[in-house]
Amino acid sequence: MEKDFHFYTIYVLCRANGMPPDVAKVVAYASQHTDDAKNGHVLEFRNGGRFEQVLTAHKFLSPGSLSTATQYGIYLTFHFIPGNIGSRFQEKLVCRRDSEIAKRMVAEPGWLQGKAYQLHRLGIALHTYADTWLHSDFSGVVTELNDLKDIQVMTERGWEKPANLARQALSHVIGHPGHWEADPYPDEPFREWRFVQKYSQAQIHRKNWELCRDAANAAYQSISAFLEYNPSFRTAQAVPWEHLADPLTILYKTAGSLDERCRRWRDMINLSQLGFACEAGDKNIVYDDREWFRAAVGVEKDDAGNDCYLRREDFPRSHWKCFHDAAASHRFFVLKELLAQEGIICC
């Protein structure tokens, strides 16, 4: 899934559930930032203190991208949460859409009243939960269970084999977590594609827009349940899901570049065509992956030209710090509690 789902869909679902724009943006920003928090270095502040960032994503094929720690601590934890189905350990690690483990994971933020990072934790959980639809049948660790064959994509000319043969060949040589062998097809909402899993010989045919619609429905229900226990975050009456299903499906099904797809979401929000009236905070809503960082941390050069970091005055309450605190909390809960309770020990 990409920004049109993890940011714009989540934003719309939060607003449709009665959240005001500023609250909805926190949840949606945290959801999308789960794909963008790729800097893991510790910040040593010139004005005192230090802060360790939490990696929730990784630059693929950069150093450490295929390490065991990255596979279990990032891919499996935030993007391919195990479905716990099968007899073999590796089979249990395969992500399954709307699994019981995923449902328990996405419900957890509702119980975190009083935590400064509660909304950020909800955004991260919604990211991980939604991913179970398009990431289903893939594992977050390097395994032969991710190997595919006969990948085909529906085009205007009919079914065609993709041209990324080099990617497929490389993935077989070095191994790969997740669906890298078939990228970008699994994450594009408008895509129809099919493939055969080598290990099971299962033939799988996917219309991604249908999966996105179902993921959005489940996320909508999860947000609604969250607000039942946290009504202070709701300021308006909810829009019924039935009013959202058709326009969202049309948005998912319409092909285009990521920028074009995101622009369509903004246009629909601006025109109040997604069930809620466009307010000032909704107008031309955009995601800037450095917005929270800049608000929390100042950057200046030292005499040698190296970056130096300064804590801004409100750093302890900043969204950037809360996001990383939420990511650490999510990781601990998934690895140390949720999976461990099922006998899946991978931490």
The CA–CA distances, whole Å, from 141 to 3, 15, 35, 78 equal 23, 35, 17, 12
Give the residue from 9, 17, 73, 59 showing the smallest Cα distance to 251.
9
The CA–CA distances, whole Å, from 86 to 93, 305, 345 equal 9, 54, 15
The pLDDT value recorded for residue 172 is 57
Q: Is there a cis peptide before residue 184, judged by omega within 30 degrees of 0?
A: yes
Which one of 64-68, 72-76, 211-215 scores highest in mean pLDDT? 211-215
Residue 35, token pair as written in the block: 């794909």
The CA distance from 102 to 231, in Å, is 23
Give the residue from 193, 86, 89, 175 showing the smallest Cα distance to 134.
193
What is the pTM assigned to this prediction? 0.94
| Bridge-based pairing state of the strands 50-52 and 158-160 | unpaired
> Which residues, 6+ apart, have CB-to-CB distance to 267 below 8 Å?
none
Tell me, rounded to whole angstroms, the distance of Cα 268 from its chain centroid. Answer: 22
- State pLDDT tens for residues 218-258: 999 999 999 999 999 999 999 999 999 999 999 999 999 99
User: What is the H or E stretch that residue 333 is in?
Assistant: none
- State pLDDT tens for residues 273-294: 999 999 999 999 999 999 999 9
- State pLDDT tens for residues 140-193: 998 889 888 889 999 889 999 887 655 555 555 556 777 888 888 999 999 999
The pLDDT value recorded for residue 310 is 94
Helices (H), 59-136: 68-70, 89-92, 100-107, 118-134
Instruction: Band the pLDDT of 345: cuts 50, 70, 90.
Output: confident
Cβ neighbour number for residue 31 with a 10 Å cutoff: 32
Over residues 72-79, mean pLDDT: 94
Domain ranges of the chain: 3-341
The pLDDT value recorded for residue 347 is 73
The CA distance from 225 to 64, in Å, is 38
- State pLDDT tens for residues 112-148: 999 999 999 999 999 999 999 999 999 999 888 988 8
